[in-house]
Amino acid sequence: MPPTQHKIVIGHSQRMPEIVDSSVHLMVTSPPYPMIQMWDKQFCQLDPKIAALWQKLEKEPQEEIVTQIYDAMHENLSRVWAETYRVLVEGGLACVNIGDATRSVNGRFRVFCNHSRIIEHCEKLGFTTLPYILWKKPTTKPTYKGKGAFLGSGFLPPNAYVTLDCEFILIFRKGKLRSFPPKDPTRYASQLTKQQRDEWFSQIWQVTGTRQTVDELERRTGAFPDEIVERLIRMFSVKGDTVLDPFVGSGTTTKIAIQNERNSVGYEKDEKLLSIINRKTAQGNSRKGAVEIINR
């Protein structure tokens, strides 16, 4: 296998002019989650319209404004899904790790079904939705009246809420199945074991691998566990393929692509994460696949 190549662009992924059409085989990502408080500021920075709507909501508490905020957040994400569609090859796959959000806004507790919004947007762009994975997370606490725990009252019906203890890994394909020549050696070299196939292609994943956070800045990236990314890369690409992550964060996808002999390209708008990205992509990287950083 020739050495793999890795690029990270410090810039927004709503435009990816650095990537030519139909040149990426797999996208694996975890975007900022709409309506999860920790990502509010990012959405406001990305789109001043969203910041203005939050301010308007403070003065005029109307449900319609909440809907406009939520719509605008997903419209911003959808521009990235559109660019992803452009750069994927025919048969290329896109895996999106996303959680729904529970939140009291404007005095009303509700769930914001981010996964269904993303499916709607991606289908409009031409993607085919494939069966998705539910990642059962071990740590999420139960919810009562929109607060973080039952507080001992979950026993008394009917006002407690079901806990969101799963996140989604949505899977989409562009066009028809990828085709390979018969007995393609790269494909055979990327083969899974029977145990991996049986476990990884089941719908519920109980990945307990903790997020290996080193400091506060890394914690705020909301990194996904290495094992989630490793499974997806090995299930949906072959050695030598190119993997895209349009929301690189701490660089998990780049690190796992290096370790699994895939090329990679990533986008991260927050320059402050570079030191974490450099540290993470150097970890366990005996191949020393140098990561090229491109400052837009």
Residues that bind ligand SAM (CB under 6 A): 12-14, 30-32, 42, 46, 221-224, 247, 249-250, 252, 267-270, 273
Nearer of residues 266 and 289 to ligand SAM, judged by Cβ: 266
Residue nearest to ligand SAM (CB): 249
> Do the Cβ atoms of 253 and 229 come closer than 8 Å?
yes
Smallest gap from Cβ 229 to ligand SAM, in A, equals: 7
Nearer of residues 50 and 223 to ligand SAM, judged by Cβ: 223
Nearer of residues 98 and 178 to ligand SAM, judged by Cβ: 98
Nearer of residues 198 and 271 to ligand SAM, judged by Cβ: 271
Distances (CA, A) of 6 to 35, 65, 182, 275: 32, 41, 29, 16
Smallest gap from Cβ 77 to ligand SAM, in A, equals: 8
Please give the single-letter amino acid code of residue 49: K
Smallest gap from Cβ 198 to ligand SAM, in A, equals: 26
The beta strand positions in the chain, using DSSP E, are: 6-10, 24-29, 88-98, 101-105, 108-112, 128-136, 143-144, 160-161, 166-173, 204-205, 242-245, 263-268, 291-295
Smallest gap from Cβ 10 to ligand SAM, in A, equals: 9
Within 10 A of 122 (CB to CB), how many other CB atoms are there? 23
Nearer of residues 112 and 178 to ligand SAM, judged by Cβ: 112
Smallest gap from Cβ 131 to ligand SAM, in A, equals: 22
Q: Residue 79: is it exposed, middle or buried by C-beta count within 10 angstroms (0-12/13-18/19+)?
A: middle
